[in-house]
Amino acid sequence: MGLLDGKVAIITGAGGGLGEAYAKLFAKEGASIVVNDLGGPRDGSGSDQGMAQAVVDAIIAAGGKAVANAADISTAAGGQSVFDDAIKHFGRADILVNNAGILLDQTFAKANEADWDKVMKVHLKGTFCVSQPVFKWMKDNGGGVIVNTSSTSGLIGNFGQSNYGAAKGGIWGLSNVLAIEGRKYGIRIWTLAPGALTRMTADLPRYIQNPGAALGPDGIAPAVLYMVSSLSGDQTGKTLGVSGPRGVREMKMMEMDGWKPPGDGWSAEDIVKHADAIFFSDADVKMGARRF
């Protein structure tokens, strides 16, 4: 018995890297897979259905079930087609992993509108376009699990990734809302912030300088299996960071108790007077946790 026996999983960007690792692991655990990938290079140009089909062929050769989908998930029609393939071929949509993405890194001073829009369209709009038809089906059919891929570039920040970080931060915000709206329907929402060595990240300075510290896709996949399986129980609205240097850990927003101004007015100088109650200090960050 596999952890995902009888389940149907949709995985975007599954023609290589992280998505391929998720697809193969989920299939091994009994799920039927819709492997979506537009194909082409990491900057989002071009397309090649052969990438998705190669993963499907490998899953079928190993005794699993899968179909390929090469739709552009940054459009509503593309997102709908991914969902439609799940229903057409397997009759259900129990799991969605929004993993597709591109990189067009630029420092903010050199950023241009076209690349900004393209990154936003694939990451943030793409997550919306695929999630909405799946979310609606789950709402009417007893629930399911959606995993949205964010990044520490959006949650914490990273030099030269203003477009990518903004998109990934938006995905985290979207996940928080979906967790609230989906709770009463049994729809569980997870956010993943992975740090992995893939073709998307191979030339980033942190991996060039310290390649031995990076996890490969197979080192990230078990965390995603945990999220989408019964192992995670009824948990929802949580963010897991998974990377070589930091391991597996929950990430969350934190806030101080704060200072409540008096009803008869207050001044900017009062913030200075009550800074200890308003701002974090190193002493407030305990038990190995990092504020972000």
User: Of the listed 164, 185, 207, 226, which one is catalytic?
Assistant: 164
Q: Is the dihedral of CA 221, 222, 223, 228 positive or negative?
A: positive
- Compute φ and ψ for 77, nearest 5 degrees: -65, -40
**Cα–Cα dist 15/55, whole Å:** 6
223, containing H or E segment: helix 217-228
Using CB atoms within 10 Å of the CB of residue 238, give its burial: 0 to 12 exposed, 13 to 18 middle, 19+ buried: middle
CA diameter of the chain: 73
Q: How many beta carbons lie within 10 A of that of residue 233, not counting itself?
A: 8
185 is catalytic: no
Write the secondary structure of 72-86 as one string of H (helix), E (strand) and C (coil): CCCCHHHHHHHHHHH
In angstroms, the CA 68 to CA 85 distance is 9
- What tokens does 135 get? 């979310």
Across the strands, what pairs with 188?
145
Residue 198 phi, psi dihedral angles, 5° rounding: -135, 180
Per-residue exposure over 171-208, b if at least 16 CB sit within 10 Å of its own CB, e if not: bbebbbebbeebeeeebbbbbbbbbbbbebbeebeebe
The catalytic residues are 164
